Structure 1
């Protein structure tokens, strides 16, 4: 029988799982895997640092629902990647990370770059394992893909000892097995339908990672039929068309106080994959665990039910596994708060003026009114993101990519991944100056792989969110939050792109029109640092 090395087995297995792209920073510990990929039509997106590569893989998983695949080398390569794995775990994103490992024959000798990955990644991911036999490599890969996608999705780490990966073994005969699909019995849905019909102040809340255009359309139809307001959780704003008359906004960081009160006053909440966590409930202050409303919870894992607030009825499954049945069993109702909730949302979107000649509320408002509906916007974390959450409208599913874990540096890698996956759609990375500089070296990756993205930098010369809280809690005692910035327009040119410096609002439209023509563009917004003082409630 023909034998091949472990790297070839690995690459062939990825092809069997339908992997269309991998992200990596190369290392000598997985040369056999790189050799295996050489003969396959699976693009390897070579990145500049493992944290950025991991965020690109996470964004790929978030967009496609299929595991994003990452290759990193041992020691510092693996530890750098932990930032993206942390995002995947919090955001419930399917992801498989292959880590090159020291030769198995030298394990526990403290050799160069040795790390016990089971111990290191154990609390950070869904499953962490190390392959110790080449002939079991396919088995481990199949299990990794299954775990990454099952229940509440998440990241998996497989450590690949160098000698195991380069050793020979027979070509595996067994193909990957089928995944079990979620199903819900009508008897489990009936009491939920009845409870929701009896509610006087119902609220539908969408979230989690199991979502699609079909989920979006069906959930919107349910809101229309029941007359209920429909809202989303933190950074899931593209789950519902923000122009829909029943859409009431997002329960994220700096949410509309009127929507927060609506959550408090609701007598029945239908959770479609959403979690009533600290962000959704404003640090667990909007709902009383001892006196909760009727909670109807649909979640992909049984462990999520009644985690903080007791559910009245709970179903383990994806939203789409029950939505059709729920909808067919639901009768038409009149308006039960949707119109009022919509009015509150539209009032919240009225711009609140901030200081300076370039104002984030005006820039985001322009994008809301002028960017095409299929424009994908990515962001990391920072004071600037509050303006995006409040003033933009996401009309199309799959156009928002942002970490619910609040990780800085995410926007640029995610934008690169999004453009590679959707080359015909405009892709904007919205980033603060501090946020962008955490992964700014990935501009090289964008250019190498032809990802023509638009980077909008909100430059206020500081770590804005930290400065905002610092000035609130320790007024007059500024420390450790000021930043030195490069000339972003010149930097764009250094990478072979085009730079635009915006010093007044009116200049933005022309710069954006130029950016849409193609190529890498960096649009720097010169912001007044004083704007922080007026965004504390955003």
Structure 2
């Protein structure tokens, strides 16, 4: 068949199993949007801003495991994607970004809305392409999808000049090429098994790679064989049942006492799909200094990058765990099991202070949300205190139910991600936001109203840039420079202005009724919650301190 370049793009997307794309039209992609007007089989969601389109495609990819697709025009359309591309790169999300470009005859002439998006995105993509000939278009799109999925997933960008989309070329459907998994090195397996056999106090640390590889079943069997504790990085939450009796909770700067003490007392750390970021290890010079480390990861570049590993296994996390599970003998419960069990019981017996009564306790609110949803909801978050409160208040039982910006820490991510997640799952999604983050993306209220996307946005409104202010309080002698807003905004009224149901919560006593109302409403909701500006996300590890030196402050 002979099609225009615009039609070839859409045919290739359909061929790759794409049913939903996110984007924003503009001059350099007009031919694509014109073709999309009558094209069957692909749903397009137009966001209010290209950055939200990138985050929406990201959220869609995370909850489905499919490649997310986002499209934007040249110049500012392309540059507005940069934060979303970087976020996907840092968190290993498979995505294909398609950007329009000025016609090939105008490239390099500082033409209207011309930007060297290839040069800009080299450091933040797995690969990027410019299509210079119509004959190369289909093969480049197919390569982009293959690269995005191969090995450690990540974003790929395709820049397409406008004249390529109007030219006519040959097209023939092909079956999508699936990446071949690398074989697992037997010597690496044997080395790890030897360390495990000698260990008396092992601990499993799970990371984002466990969610990406769908390894929940293998993790459960692995833990059952070792009878050891499991702690999680933020990105690993949900890949192991948070209610499991040997789950110690989140590790690191905002982690639990049980997790951090568990790391300190162990003689073997088995890191599964985790990269040992600074928020997890805090002080690399002291973290697990006298402890053996087995590092399991699909990306060899992560091994010994932040923490020296004693042994490692390179491969898909799920496949590696299957191999180890088949070789391991089941242990009996022992003193280490009992020690950890007591730690966890002590952690879970902690009573939550719900005071002060003249404002909302954010962790209490999120715990109530967990009760109402029975832990079955998908939670997206922005970045800051709201993100930490979400991890502390909600117990994640299932994989791919906690969606947040981990490596980049991008404020404004959660709302866009919730749009993509809700479209993918056709169900309400709860986005936990701070007022600072919500100011960055509240224009997307227009998107959820237009498409009637039933997202429930919980704004923890404390009138400050909470996490930055918290650090100023703890480490900068309370010099609150540019972190306090002069007045609190009524976000419920902003929601109503867009046509969204707005609900206001001022005290803990109002939480249950408000959540019931939000959940029962068949459409988007903004729940504006008054939070005291001095409420902190605790515990916290001081910068550069040992990971077990957690500060508990009132």
- TM-score, normalisation: structure 1: 0.94
Task: Indicate the larger mover: 90-99 or 163-172.
Answer: 163-172
| Contact 2:445 2:500 survives alignment (8 Å) | no
Q: Which structure exhibits the higher relative contact order, with contacts defined as CA atoms closer than 8 Å and separated by 6 or more residues?
A: 2
Query: What do residues 455-484 of structure 1 show as CA deviations (whole Å, max 9, x unaligned)?
Result: 111000011111111233333532211234
Residues 10 and 138, structure 1, Cα contact 8 Å, conserved in 2: yes
Name the counterpart of 1:304.
302
SS of residue paired to 1:69: strand
Which residue does 1:157 correspond to in 2?
Answer: 157
Match of 1:394 in 2: 396
Farther off after superposition, 253-262 or 216-225: 253-262
8 Å Cα contact 2:254/2:538 also seen in 1 = no
3-state SS of paired residue (1:122): helix
Q: Give the aligned partner of residue 524 of structure 1.
A: 528
CA drift at 1:37: 2.8
Would you say 1:474 and 2:476 are equivalent positions?
A: yes
3-state SS of 2:84 partner: helix
The residue matched to 2:71 in structure 1 has which SS?
Answer: strand
Cα deviation, residue 163, structure 1:
1.0
Deviation per CA, 1:18-66: give whole Å up to 9, x if none: 0121000111111222233331211101001011111111111211222
Tell me if the contact between 1:260 and 1:281 (Cα under 8 Å) persists in the aligned partners. no
Preserved contact between residue 429 and residue 456 of structure 2 (Cα < 8 Å)? yes
CA contact (8 A) 2:211 2:236 kept: no
What pairs with 1:41-440 in structure 2 (closer than 5 Å)? 41-172=41-172, 174-184=174-184, 186=186, 188-209=188-209, 211=211, 215-287=215-287, 291-335=289-333, 337-349=336-348, 350=350, 351-352=352-353, 355=356, 356-404=358-406, 405-424=408-427, 426-440=428-442
Unpaired runs of 5+ residues, structure 1, are none
Q: After TM superposition, give the deviation of residue 286 of structure 1 in Å.
A: 4.6
Residue 173 of structure 1 deviates from its aligned partner by 5.6
- Change in Cα spacing, 1:339 to 1:408, as seen in structure 2 (3 Å) is farther
Q: Secondary structure at the match of 1:280?
A: helix
Equivalents in 1 of 2:538, 2:255: separation in Å? 15
State how far apart, in whole Å, the 2-side matches of 1:161 and 1:371 are. 47
Among 504, 508, 511, the alignment partner of 1:505 is: 508
How many corresponding residue pairs?
A: 534
Q: In 1, Cα distance between the equivalents of 2:108 and 2:176?
A: 33
Q: Matched residue of 2:278: which SS?
A: coil
Give the equivalent residue in structure 2 for 1:4: 3
In structure 2, list runs of 5 or more residues that go unmatched.
541-550
Query: Following TM superposition, where does structure 1 have runs of at least 4 consecutive aligned residues deviating by more than 4 angstroms?
Result: 533-538
Root-mean-square deviation (Å): 2.1
Report the TM-score when normalising by structure 2: 0.91
How far residue 219 of structure 1 moved from its aligned partner, in angstroms, is: 0.6
Q: CA 1:339–1:493 in 2, change beyond 3 Å: closer, same or farther?
A: farther
* Separation in structure 1 between the aligned mates of residue 537 and residue 375 of structure 2, nearest angstrom: 32
State whether residues 11 and 40 of structure 1, in contact with CA within 8 Å, keep that contact through their aligned partners in structure 2: no
Answer yes or no: is the 8 Å Cα contact 2:380–2:417 preserved in 1. Answer: yes
CA 420–241 in structure 1, closer or farther in 2 if over 3 Å, else same? same
Following superposition, the deviation at residue 225 of structure 1 comes to 1.9
